[in-house]
Amino acid sequence: MAVSTKLRWKRYINELRFVHEELELVREIISTSGGEFEIHYRQYCAKNNLDLAYLNKKHNERVHALYHQKTQESIQDNPQFNAETDGALVLHNPLFEELLNRTSEDEYPQQLGDYQMTQDELEIHEAFNKVFRKLAMVLHPDKLDKNLLPAERNEKLDMFKKAKKAIEERRYFTLLEIAQQFNITTPRNYRQQMRWMKKELEQVNHTLAREKKSYNYLFSECESDDQKDALAKDFMIQLFGPQIFDNIA
């Protein structure tokens, strides 16, 4: 195998790790900024004499349909999504819908040739399942030495949980890191892994771009009250329609 192939493989691993970490951070921002956005947009309604309770009641079907649709999309994108806590104002600005809905072919030139994603995915998952089983032989609670010090035992239990989560979520780069610590042989089908990682990067980057266009995240990026007010207005127009501002100077 050419040295350049393994170096490219390492680059893809680093890139995949980075986008996953960024996605987690963006989702944390979305969750924490939701309450702040809600407070601001309620203040915006009061400042502009907009009766929010009346608007919600009048447009109940529209609001319900919009939130139901977006909540289902959020659950599909993020299995950890909690509709009661994370759902507050997690809607996407319609100005960006055309960009977000472009096909992967539009966003990414054809690089994969006659590569079959499903077959690669199955084979790679099975290869890393073998890595996980080897890790389980040294990290599973039933396999740990009973004489281990509590701190070391807890450390290995945490590593096992981390490895289990990694195989379930297809974060194979995490398995590679843990396996390296125990000198466990890892899959060397580098070209196949790179083909899979290209596709995975495409999917994660698309999700990341979508999350960054949610109102919660856009609110966290606002630097002035005017920007926050403009975002609140866009949000209300999406929920209730532009006519609610007809009588406002």
103 part of a folded domain:
no
**Domain identity same for 7 and 87:** yes
The predicted-structure confidence for 24-71, as pLDDT tens digits, reads as follows 999 999 989 988 998 998 999 999 888 888 888 888 877 777 665 443
Whether residue 205 is contained in a domain is answered as no
Based on the fold, state whether residues 174 and 221 are members of the same structural domain. no
Dihedral sign computed on CA atoms, order 156, 158, 164, 167: negative
Output DSSP code: residue 245.
Answer: G
Domain annotation covers residue 99: no
The number of folded domains in the chain is 2
CA dist 56 and 62 (Å) reads: 9
Is residue 186 one of the residues assigned to a domain?
A: yes
Give the residue carrying structure tokens 């698309």.
Answer: 206
Residues 221 and 188 in one domain: no
The pLDDT value given to residue 19? 96
CA distance 76 to 148: 41
Domain membership of residue 53 (yes or no) is: yes
Whether 209 is covered by a domain: the verdict is no
Say if residue 64 is in the same domain as residue 142. no
Could you tell me what percent of the chain has a pLDDT over 70? 77
The answer to whether position 138 is within a domain reads yes
Is residue 194 located within the same domain as residue 238?
A: no
| 3-class secondary structure, 144 | coil
- Name the residue range of residue 148's domain: 117-200
CB 56 within 8 A of CB 242: no
Q: Say if residue 103's pLDDT is above 50.
A: no
Beta bridge partners of residue 214, listed in sequence order:
92
Residue 191 lies in a domain: yes
Band (pLDDT 50/70/90 cuts) for residue 248 is low
**222 and 147 share one domain:** no
Q: Are 107 and 146 in contact (CB under 8 A)?
A: no
**Which residue's entry shows tokens 């499903």?**
118
The pTM score is: 0.73
